Amino acid sequence: MPESIANDLTRVQKWAQEKIAQGSEPPWAWYQYMKLIETINALRAGHDVTQPMASSPQSEKHPGAHLRLVGSTDPQDDAQRRPAETPVLLPM
Protein backbone atom coordinates (compact mmCIF):
# COMPACT_ATOMS: atom_id res chain seq x y z
CA MET A 1 0.00 0.00 0.00
CA PRO A 2 1.46 3.37 -0.92
CA GLU A 3 2.62 5.33 2.09
CA SER A 4 0.30 8.27 1.39
CA ILE A 5 -2.75 5.99 1.45
CA ALA A 6 -1.55 4.29 4.63
CA ASN A 7 -1.09 7.72 6.24
CA ASP A 8 -4.56 8.82 5.16
CA LEU A 9 -6.11 5.66 6.57
CA THR A 10 -4.29 6.18 9.86
CA ARG A 11 -5.47 9.79 10.04
CA VAL A 12 -9.10 8.87 9.34
CA GLN A 13 -9.01 6.01 11.83
CA LYS A 14 -7.65 8.27 14.58
CA TRP A 15 -10.32 10.86 13.78
CA ALA A 16 -13.07 8.22 14.10
CA GLN A 17 -11.60 6.93 17.35
CA GLU A 18 -11.52 10.47 18.77
CA LYS A 19 -15.18 11.00 17.84
CA ILE A 20 -16.11 7.79 19.65
CA ALA A 21 -13.98 8.69 22.69
CA GLN A 22 -15.75 12.05 23.06
CA GLY A 23 -18.98 10.19 23.78
CA SER A 24 -21.20 12.97 22.45
CA GLU A 25 -22.20 11.28 19.21
CA PRO A 26 -25.69 9.82 18.71
CA PRO A 27 -25.93 6.02 18.58
CA TRP A 28 -26.32 5.90 14.80
CA ALA A 29 -23.13 7.97 14.35
CA TRP A 30 -21.22 5.85 16.87
CA TYR A 31 -22.17 2.76 14.87
CA GLN A 32 -20.96 4.35 11.61
CA TYR A 33 -17.63 5.34 13.19
CA MET A 34 -17.18 1.76 14.42
CA LYS A 35 -17.89 0.41 10.94
CA LEU A 36 -15.36 2.87 9.51
CA ILE A 37 -12.67 1.71 11.95
CA GLU A 38 -13.43 -1.94 11.21
CA THR A 39 -13.29 -1.29 7.47
CA ILE A 40 -9.91 0.41 7.74
CA ASN A 41 -8.61 -2.53 9.76
CA ALA A 42 -9.94 -4.96 7.14
CA LEU A 43 -8.32 -2.97 4.32
CA ARG A 44 -4.97 -3.07 6.07
CA ALA A 45 -5.24 -6.78 6.87
CA GLY A 46 -6.28 -7.60 3.32
CA HIS A 47 -3.43 -5.60 1.88
CA ASP A 48 -0.90 -7.32 4.11
CA VAL A 49 -2.16 -10.76 3.10
CA THR A 50 -2.13 -10.08 -0.63
CA GLN A 51 1.42 -8.75 -0.86
CA PRO A 52 3.78 -11.30 -2.44
CA MET A 53 6.83 -12.27 -0.47
CA ALA A 54 10.21 -11.29 -1.91
CA SER A 55 11.34 -14.93 -1.99
CA SER A 56 8.15 -16.14 -3.64
CA PRO A 57 8.56 -17.52 -7.18
CA GLN A 58 5.42 -15.60 -8.15
CA SER A 59 7.08 -12.31 -7.28
CA GLU A 60 9.62 -12.74 -10.08
CA LYS A 61 8.94 -10.94 -13.32
CA HIS A 62 8.01 -13.16 -16.24
CA PRO A 63 8.91 -11.34 -19.45
CA GLY A 64 6.74 -12.22 -22.40
CA ALA A 65 4.06 -13.93 -20.31
CA HIS A 66 1.22 -11.56 -21.08
CA LEU A 67 -2.44 -12.13 -21.74
CA ARG A 68 -3.44 -11.93 -25.37
CA LEU A 69 -6.76 -11.46 -27.08
CA VAL A 70 -7.89 -14.37 -29.23
CA GLY A 71 -10.82 -14.70 -31.60
CA SER A 72 -13.91 -16.58 -30.54
CA THR A 73 -14.80 -19.78 -32.40
CA ASP A 74 -18.21 -20.03 -30.70
CA PRO A 75 -20.85 -18.22 -32.76
CA GLN A 76 -23.34 -16.60 -30.41
CA ASP A 77 -25.87 -15.48 -33.01
CA ASP A 78 -26.87 -18.85 -34.46
CA ALA A 79 -30.44 -19.04 -33.12
CA GLN A 80 -33.12 -19.64 -35.73
CA ARG A 81 -35.26 -16.60 -36.42
CA ARG A 82 -39.06 -16.66 -36.60
CA PRO A 83 -40.23 -16.01 -40.17
CA ALA A 84 -41.66 -12.52 -40.53
CA GLU A 85 -44.94 -13.76 -42.02
CA THR A 86 -45.80 -15.98 -39.01
CA PRO A 87 -48.17 -14.03 -36.73
CA VAL A 88 -47.29 -13.82 -33.06
CA LEU A 89 -50.17 -14.90 -30.78
CA LEU A 90 -50.49 -12.71 -27.73
CA PRO A 91 -52.46 -13.61 -24.58
CA MET A 92 -55.63 -11.66 -23.93
In a domain, 66, yes or no: no
In a domain, 10, yes or no: yes
In a domain, 43, yes or no: yes
Count how many domains the chain has: 1
In a domain, 56, yes or no: no
- How far, in Å, CA of 32 to CA of 15, rounded? 13
In a domain, 81, yes or no: no
In a domain, 33, yes or no: yes
Residue type present at position 79: A
Q: What is the pLDDT of residue 22?
A: 92
Q: What is the pLDDT of residues 54-69, one digit of tens each?
A: 666 655 566 667 777 7
Q: What is the pLDDT of residues 2-47, one digit of tens each?
A: 788 889 999 999 999 999 999 898 989 999 999 999 999 999 988 8
Is pTM beyond 0.85? Reply is no
Where does the pLDDT of residue 87 fall: very low under 50, low under 70, confident under 90, or very high at 90 and above?
A: confident
Identify whether the C-beta of residue 19 lies closer than 8 Å to the C-beta of residue 29. yes
Q: What count of residues does the chain have?
A: 92
Domain residue limits at 33: 3-50
